[in-house]
Amino acid sequence: MTPPRTRSRPLLILVTTLATLASILVTAPAAQSAPAKTPPLTTPWTGQALAGTPLPEYPRPQMVRPDWQNLNGEWQLRQSATDDPPQFNTTLPERVNVPFPVESALSGVMRPASDNRHYLYYRRTFTVPAGWSGRRVQLHFGAVDWQTTVWVNGVQVGGHTGGYDAFTFDITPRLNGGANEIIVKVYDPTDSRQNGTLPLIGKQTKTPSGIFYTPSSGIWQTVWLEPTPAASISSVDTYANLSNNTLRLRVFTRGDVSGHSVLAEALNGTTVVGTATGAFTEFTVPVPNARRWSPEDPFLYNLRVTLRNSGGTQVDRTTHYFGMREITTGLVNGVMRPKLNGQFVFQLGTLDQGFWPDGLYTAPTDAALAHDLQKHKDLGFNMVRKHIKVEPQRWFYHADRLGLLVWQDVPSMTAQDVNANDAQQAQFEAEAREIVDEHRSAPSVVAYTVYNEGWGERALADTRRVGQNVKNQDPTRLVNPHSGHNCCQSLGDPGNGDIDDWHMYLGPASPLPSATRIAVLGEFGGLGLHAPGHEYSPNGQYFAYEWQSDSNTLTNRYVGLVQGVQNLMISRGLSASVYTEITDLEGELNGMLTYDRQQVKVDQARVRAANLAVINASRALPAMSPVTLPVNTRRSFQVTTSGHTEKYLRHAGSLAYTEVVNAASSALLKSDATYTVRAGLAGSGCYSFESVNYPGQYLRHQDSRVRNSPDDGSALMRADATWCAQSGATGGGVSLEAYNQPGSYLRHYNSEVWITNGSGGAAYNSPALWAADSTWNITTPWAP
């Protein structure tokens, strides 16, 4: 069933091929640019950003028409601390490069973060190409932060509230046939709380420091014009259906479409592989022998959508793209997991916040926009969490073509002193709906995160309700109602949605999956390394969760953390992790790359190998299914770790150890290394292990150390002495899970025996060799 749409609106869908796209796009002549200011750091693209029209690429690759006009470039600007009326036919005092935020160097303004002139007035003129005569003219804004009012030739044509979604006005009635004037007023109070405002701001703040950064006020995505027929396509939603190899399709329109129909054609390259005709309710297009989209094979089909009148004549045509993929959840070896195209693959990503030292929210060029995503691929990641910011549509296209799974956050209200009233809460929810509507057709987007660490959260009931509303709006994707509900200002676990998400610095750690939710680690890591000459902090201070001394140490530490993630995938059922983070940001130096993208701070080859090891291991998970042991019989427990297989579990002085046992060993040692298998003292489906030479004493854990203890009848002792046998973590042998600490297993380390999950931290919980150390052969007893 197609998720409901709140209103007809321009979505975003792609092109047939990049070559075709390049050949059909018509842009305006290069716009003059105001001189850039000197940024605190220079990226490889800073010098290219204003060479011609800024960001000249077609901004909406998910719905392409051949004609358009780019309005990026130099505009006039007036900044005001008061809500003044617009000034028409008047030259404004400053110049600004659209679409760079006024706080950025590339804007040519570079005003301080603390500037209280929250009202911005933009002005420029344009001429409609003669070839557009007889068509409607749409004025598109990719995104403007935060509250926008637009006039054309002195007449207000519309307004919009929200800093992260696109909006469009039909300005045809206001055009005069010659030079036309646009005035855009933007009100952006950021986190000043001026006039009682509480906008969605993500990480923006008037006082940047630590993990909060310089604001991005005003126009920050492409502004452009597009001619359309009077009756035209306004957006197209697509959903792959792998069960029958079809593409579900719904077309939205503007104007009078009475008697009209839609022809949809799916193409492999330029070859039509499936066609269907429908109206304005959902219909399906066949995609025979569909090639599945995945991070390993991000294959994109093309889609041609034609609006036809009652006589069958073409009225409008747009070109798009789609990927044949599905994201679901389901049991894998008894554990709830995410499934891409029916298969579990671990989703390994980074926190990606999307700030630039030269453009702030706006990447200097399209190549820069794609760069961080390509780096994710180079480093072996298959996922990216876009953290409380929404990128331009071309970013999602790059994720789609490169093959990255995207977790899209809803940008949050301020993290401090949250007290949203009903109107502010309603605005948050309205913007969340818009974000979902705009990204329905991106194959890369597999999950939405609604809240982060309690930022903007006012009541647990609201969190549950909004999470469910997002799921109802788009049931084809996973919903994470609250990332890091165990952290910070969170009001607690909402308990619903598809995802149970912890944050743990440094970590790693994991919640336990349930019958309905997968377990993910939404943030961890935060390893910092200074890179002199490539750092910038607005207040001169720098932050990291744990500082490293050099690149090799940083790489070693990261590899250890990700090995811990792999162990948690096995031991606790972890299904995804998000490392903090891909790049440094202002005063936060947790990045694998420097803020200026000039240096990679880790050994890329080693990080890639470690990441791919986790992903590859997820494709061949050990079953870890229950194993039956022979009750009331004696058994010994042999180490399976290579080079130590002559060792067996034994007790000495009440503590458990591993020691070499063979035929020449003493009778005492053989007895110490033998246990009687009993029904579990705390659960009959599991087992307890009674000492042969100390009857009444059982193998139990206490403060993570394993020992022998007498059964004192207490519930705690009986639970500590109960172990659930499973097929081994290495795929063979047996692993013994602590009954009252699920996800922790009997493990030997340096001849001592502990319960661990292999996530790291304490030496005995070392990630190295955890799976082998936690796997035992249950053998014939040394003391029969």
**pLDDT of 414 over the 90 cut:** no
- For 478-488, what is each residue's pLDDT tens digit? 999 999 999 99
Tell me: pLDDT of 657 over 50. yes
pLDDT recorded at residue 25: 39
pLDDT in tens, 277-288: 999 999 999 999
Read off the pLDDT band of 261 (50, 70, 90): very high
Selection from 411, 408, 579, 428 nearest residue 480 by Cα? 408
User: Mean of the pLDDT values across residues 491-497?
Assistant: 96
The predicted model gives 714-738 an average pLDDT of: 96
**For residue 588, what are the β-bridge partners?**
543, 585
pLDDT tens digits, 591-628 = 999 999 999 999 999 999 999 999 999 999 998 899 99
What is the DSSP annotation of 274-291?
EEEEE-SS-EEEE-TTPP
DSSP H or E segment with residue 706: strand 705-710
Q: 506 with 472: CB under 8 angstroms?
A: no
Select the highest-mean-pLDDT range: 2-16, 32-46, 98-112: 98-112
Contact 738, 512 (CB under 8 A): no
Residues 113-123 pLDDT 10s: 999 999 999 99
**pLDDT, tens digit (0-9, with 9 covering 90-100), for 665-689:** 999 999 999 999 999 999 989 999 9
Residue 739 — pLDDT band, cuts 50, 70, 90? very high
What is d(CA 583, CA 603) in angstroms, rounded to the nearest whole number? 15
> Would the pLDDT of 16 be above 80?
no
547 - beta bridge partners?
Answer: 528
3-state percent helix, strand, coil for the chain, nearest multiple of 5? 15, 35, 50
512: nearest Cα among 468, 569, 562? 569
Give every CB contact of residue 732 below 8 A, 6+ residues apart in sequence: 640, 775
Residue 18 in this model has a pLDDT that exceeds 50? no
Average pLDDT over residues 511-518: 97
Q: What is the pLDDT of residues 533-562, one digit of tens each?
A: 999 999 999 999 999 999 999 999 999 999
- Determine the pLDDT at residue 19: 34
Predicted local distance difference test score (pLDDT) of residue 9? 34
What is the reported pLDDT for 418? 79
Q: Which residues of 39-193 form beta strands (DSSP E)? A: 69-70, 73-80, 94-98, 119-127, 136-141, 144-145, 147-152, 155-161, 167-170, 179-187
pLDDT value for 31: 56
Predicted confidence band of residue 415 (pLDDT cuts 50, 70, 90): confident
Task: Compute the mean pLDDT over every residue in the chain, rounded to the nearest whole number.
Answer: 94
pLDDT tens-digit readout, 128-138: 999 999 999 99
Instruction: Report residue 416's pLDDT band, with 50, 70 and 90 as the boundaries.
Output: confident
Q: Is 710 exposed, middle or buried (0-12, 13-18, 19+ CB in 10 A)?
A: middle
Average pLDDT on 410-425 reads 90
pTM of the predicted structure, to 2 decimals: 0.93
Instruction: Give the Å distances, CA to CA, from 40 to 46, 56, 357, 596.
Output: 11, 25, 6, 9
Q: How far is CA 320 from the centre of its chain?
A: 23
Q: What single-letter amino acid sits at 448?
A: Y
Measured between its terminal Cα atoms, the distance across the chain in Å is: 64
- Parallel, antiparallel, or unpaired: how do β-strands 383-386 and 347-352 relate? parallel
pLDDT tens across 296-337, in order? 999 999 999 999 999 999 999 999 999 999 999 999 999 999
The pLDDT of residue 465 is above 70: yes
Contact 639, 647 (CB under 8 A): yes
pLDDT tier for residue 34 given thresholds of 50, 70 and 90: confident
The first and second tokens of residue 281, run together, are 């309710």
Whether omega before 508 lies within 30 degrees of 0, making that bond cis, reads: yes
Which secondary structure element, helix H or strand E, spans residue 451, and what is its range?
strand 445-452
> Which class for 268: exposed (0-12), middle (13-18), buried (19 or more C-beta within 10 A)?
middle
pLDDT (0 to 100) of residue 2: 35
- Does residue 495 contact residue 481 with C-beta atoms inside 8 Å? no
Residue 746 near residue 697, CB atoms below 8 Å: no
